[in-house]
Amino acid sequence: MRISVLGSGTGTNFVAIAQAVARGELRNVDIALVLSDIENAGILARAQEFGVPCAYIPVTNFKTKLEGPPEQAYIEALRAAGTDYVVLAGFMRMIKREMLAAFPQRIINIHPALLPAFPGIHSWEQALAYGVKITGCTVHFVDEGMDTGPIIAQAAVPVHDDDTPASLHARIQQEEHRLYPRVLQWLADGRVHIQGRRTFLVPPGP
Amino acid sequence: MRISVLGSGTGTNFVAIAQAVARGELRNVDIALVLSDIENAGILARAQEFGVPCAYIPVTNFKTKLEGPPEQAYIEALRAAGTDYVVLAGFMRMIKREMLAAFPQRIINIHPALLPAFPGIHSWEQALAYGVKITGCTVHFVDEGMDTGPIIAQAAVPVHDDDTPASLHARIQQEEHRLYPRVLQWLADGRVHIQGRRTFLVPPGP
């Protein structure tokens, strides 16, 4: 399974995935390409450190979505790399119709909350402000909504009384780094089946 | 701490609390009264089995809220019983302004989901339909909203691929029966502090 990772930030989830591949914990997965819409994003530097092809593809027509000519540029780069799955890892733009059609049920995202609670940005700050005692992270298929696609896996994370946004975010990220490689292994093994809004994990093959 | 329990259903949470009191696991808590808006509700039969005073107080003016003359009847009964905390356990009516004013920050509820996800009724069916992998239960202070008050405690419950609404609901209820007595002990020990939407658990006193 060839995956390509899209990110706008520091790339901690990319590193977690790349390390899992390097250690042989994530089998039959190749990271084909890393793309970013931010020229100096840490994820591009991390990709170079791991020897993974990477590119900055600017998006100048919209601020919060990937649509139009830049969307086509991303699709072409992903296709040229032989991408089976598009893995969003802190990519701060909404994925729109053309890209969804190019990789149907082949785009996944990780979100730092137990969806459907706290979609959108800074969800750990939303969780603290609401006063929940448990939050977490969610890996889901991407659809046209904001963090609304079918959920593949979730992990719970406790909120502590003395948490700051930073300490809570760090605890969630630890779980993200465990959860994302695990889900990628399920996908590589063909174990994730979608039925409507629900997904099911089928037993591993022989 | 004298608590009164309000319920419309079978009373499984009442039983969990009454058993915790009977076993000495829940200390310094007396169950003063059980009230129901359903004449043949199981919770009234369970109260009689535990020797707890109980009453059916009909509510005929509204279907989904407690307001007006029946609300006054509940308030009077709760006050006459010397109620410190009102404990909602499957009480299927919205609590309104007069009762909230009579027991300020002294009414708690347990909800079978990880709020703010899946408020309202049949939240385990909502969770299954949405396709979450983790749900749970929440104990919270009651305010004028639908399951919106400050959260005191939550417990996570996994959703299994082969869950039915009944099997998921049963797994959530198991956690409810653990969580509700624990929170009542915190309240009896004066350990729950509210700051805005957040609550904090302070260390037990000497």
**DSSP per-residue letters across A7-74:** -SS--HHHHHHHHHHHTTSSTT-EEEEEEESSTT-HHHHHHHHTT--EEE----S-SSEE-SHHHHHH
Nearest by CB to B116, which of A128, A130, A151?
Answer: A130
Chain A and chain B share a number of CB contacts under 8 A equal to 63
Does A28 have pLDDT greater than 90? Answer: yes
Structure confidence by residue, pLDDT tens digits, B13-35: 999 999 999 999 999 999 999 99
Q: What is the pLDDT of residue A204?
A: 84
Check CB contact under 8 Å for A129 and B161. Answer: no
What are the residues of chain A with a beta carbon less than 8 Å away from any beta carbon of chain B?
114-117, 128-134, 136, 150-156, 161, 196-201
Residue B116's H or E segment, with its range, is none
**Domain annotation covers residue A66:** yes
**Domain annotation covers residue A149:** yes
For residue A114, the chain B residues in CB contact (below 8 A) are 114, 117, 132, 134
| Cβ-proximal residues to A11 (8 Å cutoff; 6+ apart), any chain | A34, A41, A42, A43, A44, A45, A46, A47, A89, A90
Does A141 have pLDDT greater than 90? Answer: yes
Q: What is the pLDDT of residue A125?
A: 98
Does B206 have pLDDT greater than 90? Answer: no
One of A111, A140, A169, A177 is an active-site residue; which one? A111
Selected for mutation to probe chain A from B118, B123, B132, B199 (highest A CB count within 10 Å) is B132
One of B111, B140, B169, B177 is an active-site residue; which one? B111
- CA–CA min distance A164, chain B (Å): 13
**Domain annotation covers residue A205:** no
Q: List, edge to edge, every strand of the sheet that includes A30-36.
A: A54-56, A30-36, A2-6, A85-88, A107-111, A134-141, A151-158
CATH (domain of B45): 3.40.50.170
Contact B4, B32 (CB under 8 A): yes
Mean pLDDT across B124-141: 98
For residue A117, the chain B residues in CB contact (below 8 A) are 114, 116-117
Q: What is the pTM of this model?
A: 0.95
Structure confidence by residue, pLDDT tens digits, A147-203: 999 999 999 999 999 999 999 999 999 999 999 999 999 999 999 999 999 999 999
Q: How far is B202 from B206, CA to CA, in rounded Å?
A: 12
Mean pLDDT across A19-35: 97
**Domain annotation covers residue B19:** yes
A30 burial (CB, 10 Å; 0-12 / 13-18 / 19+) is middle
Residue A176's H or E segment, with its range, is helix A165-188
CA distances from B134 to A185, A199, B131 (A): 20, 13, 9
- pLDDT tier, A32 (very low <50, low <70, confident <90, very high otherwise): very high
Q: What is the pLDDT of residue A205?
A: 75
Q: What is the pLDDT of residue B204?
A: 84
Joined together, the tokens standing for residue B120 give 């309202």
Q: What is the pLDDT of residue B153?
A: 98
Number of domains, chain B: 1
Residues in chain B: 206
- CA–CA min distance A128, chain B (Å): 8
Contact A16, A181 (CB under 8 A): yes
Does B164 have pLDDT greater than 90? Answer: yes
For residue B200, the chain A residues in CB contact (below 8 A) are 161
Selected for mutation to probe chain A from B128, B130, B133, B159 (highest A CB count within 10 Å) is B133
CA distances from A132 to A47, A123, A181, B177, B182 (A): 35, 12, 27, 20, 17
**Domain annotation covers residue B175:** yes
Closest residue of chain A to B148, computed from CA coordinates = A130
CA distances from A63 to A58, A67, B18, B182, B202 (A): 11, 10, 57, 48, 44
Structure confidence by residue, pLDDT tens digits, A63-120: 999 999 999 999 999 999 999 999 999 999 999 999 999 999 999 999 999 999 999 9
Q: What is the pLDDT of residue B205?
A: 75
- CA–CA min distance B134, chain A (Å): 6
Selection from A88, A85, A72, A81 nearest residue A147 by Cα: A88
**Domain annotation covers residue B206:** no
Q: What is the pLDDT of residue B25?
A: 96
The string over B15-40, giving b where at least 16 C-beta atoms fall within 10 Å of a residue's C-beta and e elsewhere, is bbbbebbeeeebeebbbbbbbbbbee
- pLDDT tier, A59 (very low <50, low <70, confident <90, very high otherwise): very high
Q: Rounded to an integer, what is the distance from CA A195 to the centroid of its chain?
A: 21
**Domain annotation covers residue B44:** yes
Angle between helices B165-188 and B123-130 (to 10 degrees): 120
Contact A4, A190 (CB under 8 A): no
| DSSP structural state of residue B50 | T
A116 upstream amide cis, omega within 30 of 0: yes
**Domain annotation covers residue B7:** yes
Q: How far is A155 from A147, CA to CA, in rounded Å?
A: 16
| Cβ-proximal residues to B42 (8 Å cutoff; 6+ apart), any chain | B9, B10, B11
- How many CB atoms within 10 Å of residue A136? 28
For residue B128, the chain A residues in CB contact (below 8 A) are 198
Mean pLDDT across B99-121: 97
ipTM for the complex shown: 0.95
Nearest by CB to B130, which of A155, A161, A197?
Answer: A197
Q: What is the pLDDT of residue A41?
A: 97
Does B111 have pLDDT greater than 90? Answer: yes
Mean pLDDT across B138-160: 96
B169 is catalytic: no
- Average pLDDT over all residues of chain B: 97
Alpha helices for chain B (secondary structure H): 12-22, 42-49, 69-80, 97-102, 123-130, 165-188
Nearest by CB to B132, which of A129, A134, A154?
Answer: A154
**Range(s) of the domain holding residue B158:** 2-194
